[in-house]
Chain A
């Protein structure tokens, strides 16, 4: 790892002003992607701003049909939260399938979503549930947040503070994990919220997380796995690499979507 200067603000306000004034800076959330990336010298920010000790970024609250999760809340906390398990069990389950127990103790929802790795799990939940991303500057609807692989609507000087998830009638997540890395090769989040069906796909798309409109339309008619039988996910929009080619991933998307629908109960 190259030299870097570590900063540890104790409030969001302090973090935002550091971010605005420092040059060549990265925000450090749980560090489970950023630190390995820095060790490989694929990233070498001159300044690191550690968000890990900011109390106002942590915590989970449920009220009025929404679940609000602080950006600094770890995967382990979301996975084991009685509130999340009761309101959106699919979200708790998704968090428990990220990485491994040690990674889940440090990795955060804010870090995962801000990074928008095409194989990350959380972006599919944020998009599938139609969550709102609350930042230091504004509120961004999930549909406007994800802007392609490793790219989001976030400005350089903007920090995610929390996520507001509407509680769905039902939701489920099905993932086919790479046998070695456990990253999603295709992960499909299906949710019915306020009578509207949303299907969000991660791990497979060559442009990161996306909504599968054909599946949403088919499921709006009949919410059964068989409703997807006649569909084919567009292989030309899929990732193709040594782990699986585009046609393989397109098929996986359909299979995972059917499994998620079956799991809706």
Chain B
């Protein structure tokens, strides 16, 4: 058994878990944070993407024990109170989802790519960056539009703050 302590969505948590426990299992089954989804379970679909120390990773391809001492952000920690994160708001505005299963991973991947690139993103960059996230409903067009809009809005917000 491994004893782990980490910060999840701003809260310090600790637990004793089996060494083989995946981070996504710990998040969903121990902490009850079921917003992070398990789609393919083979590291391909990206429904389980969360941020570990500020970087997007596949939570189904990391052990909970490896996350000891890290800071984890899941889809549940993205909004500020009732106010949606700009990427969440853009997915709603641009109909960036149909069934919604891939959405938590899509949004966490989108926030990560916007953070890394800064500035407004173009369509080609967004499509390339979405290589690790699969959606079976939308055909991606509205997801790309949502991320494009959110990246422009976030760049504007950053500029206004400076």
- Chain A residues within CB distance 8 Å of chain B: 1-6, 8, 28, 31-32, 35-36, 38-40, 48, 50, 52-53, 76, 99-103, 105-106, 181-182
B129 contacts A by Cβ under 8 Å: yes
Query: B2's contact among A6, A35, A40, A105, by CB below 8 Å, is which?
Result: A6
Are the CB atoms of A2 and B20 closer together than 8 Å? yes
With a cutoff of 8 Å between Cβ atoms, the chain A residues found around residue B62 in the complex are 31, 35, 106
Per the 8 Å Cβ criterion, residues 125-153 of B in contact with A are: 129, 131-133
Expressed in whole angstroms, the Cα–Cα distance for A181 and B40 within the complex equals 13
With a cutoff of 8 Å between Cβ atoms, the chain A residues found around residue B60 in the complex are 39
Interface bin, chain B: 20 to 34
B55 contacts A by Cβ under 8 Å: yes
Shortest CB–CB separation between residue B42 and chain A, in angstroms? 6
Expressed in whole angstroms, the Cα–Cα distance for A88 and B42 within the complex equals 33
With a 10 A CB-CB cut-off, give which of B46, B61, B112 has the most chain A CB atoms: B61
With a cutoff of 8 Å between Cβ atoms, the chain B residues found around residue A2 in the complex are 20
Are the CB atoms of B63 and A31 closer together than 8 Å? yes
- Known contacts A3-B19, A4-B19, A36-B43; is-contact A101 B132 (Cβ 8 Å): yes
Shortest CB–CB separation between residue B106 and chain A, in angstroms? 12
B65 contacts A by Cβ under 8 Å: yes
Are the CB atoms of B112 and A101 closer together than 8 Å? yes
- Known contacts A32-B43, A52-B66, A102-B46; is-contact A6 B61 (Cβ 8 Å): no
With a cutoff of 8 Å between Cβ atoms, the chain B residues found around residue A3 in the complex are 18-20
With a cutoff of 8 Å between Cβ atoms, the chain A residues found around residue B66 in the complex are 28, 31, 50, 52
Residue-wise interface mask of B (46-78) relative to A, using a CB-CB cutoff of 8 A (1 in contact, 0 not): 100100000111101111011011000000000
Chain B: which residue is nearest A74 at the CB level? B55
Are the CB atoms of B19 and A48 closer together than 8 Å? yes
Expressed in whole angstroms, the Cα–Cα distance for A28 and B22 within the complex equals 14
Expressed in whole angstroms, the Cα–Cα distance for A50 and B20 within the complex equals 13
What 8 new A-B contacts, CB under 8 Å, besides A31-B63, A101-B113, A102-B46? Answer: A8-B65, A8-B68, A28-B66, A35-B61, A48-B63, A101-B109, A103-B58, A181-B44
Chain B: which residue is nearest A107 at the CB level? B61
Q: List 5 A-B contacts (CB under 8 A).
A: A53-B69, A100-B133, A101-B113, A103-B43, A106-B58
Expressed in whole angstroms, the Cα–Cα distance for A40 and B57 within the complex equals 20
Are the CB atoms of B129 and A101 closer together than 8 Å? yes
With a 10 A CB-CB cut-off, give which of A38, A101, A102, A181 has the most chain B CB atoms: A102
Are the CB atoms of B20 and A1 closer together than 8 Å? yes
With a 10 A CB-CB cut-off, give which of A2, A76, A99, A105 has the most chain B CB atoms: A105
- Known contacts A6-B63, A36-B61, A39-B41; is-contact A102 B109 (Cβ 8 Å): yes
Chain A: which residue is nearest B42 at the CB level? A36
Query: A50's contact among B56, B57, B65, by CB below 8 Å, is which?
Result: B65
- Known contacts A3-B19, A4-B20; is-contact A102 B56 (Cβ 8 Å): yes
With a cutoff of 8 Å between Cβ atoms, the chain B residues found around residue A38 in the complex are 20
Shortest CB–CB separation between residue A2 and chain B, in angstroms? 7
- Known contacts A8-B65, A36-B61, A52-B66; is-contact A105 B18 (Cβ 8 Å): no
Shortest CB–CB separation between residue B122 and chain A, in angstroms? 16
- Known contacts A35-B62, A50-B66; is-contact A102 B20 (Cβ 8 Å): no
Query: A101's contact among B18, B42, B68, B131, by CB below 8 Å, is which?
Result: B131
Expressed in whole angstroms, the Cα–Cα distance for A131 and B58 within the complex equals 31
Expressed in whole angstroms, the Cα–Cα distance for A32 and B41 within the complex equals 12
